[in-house]
Amino acid sequence: MAIRKVQLTMEELSLLGVLGRGRIPWIRRKSFSDRSRLAEREYAYNMSLSNKYSFKDGGMKGKPDYQLIADEINRVYHLGNNVRDRYSVRNALYKYRKKLGV
Interval 26-42: pLDDT, tens? 888 767 666 667 889 99
Contacting residues for 91 by C-beta, under 8 A, at least 6 apart: none
Instruction: Give the pLDDT of residue 35.
Output: 60
Which has more confidence, 28 or 44? 44
Spatial separation of the C-alpha atoms in residues 96 and 41, rounded to whole Å: 7
Average pLDDT over residues 41-58: 94
What are the angstrom distances between the C-alpha of 31 and each of 14, 70, 74?
24, 19, 15
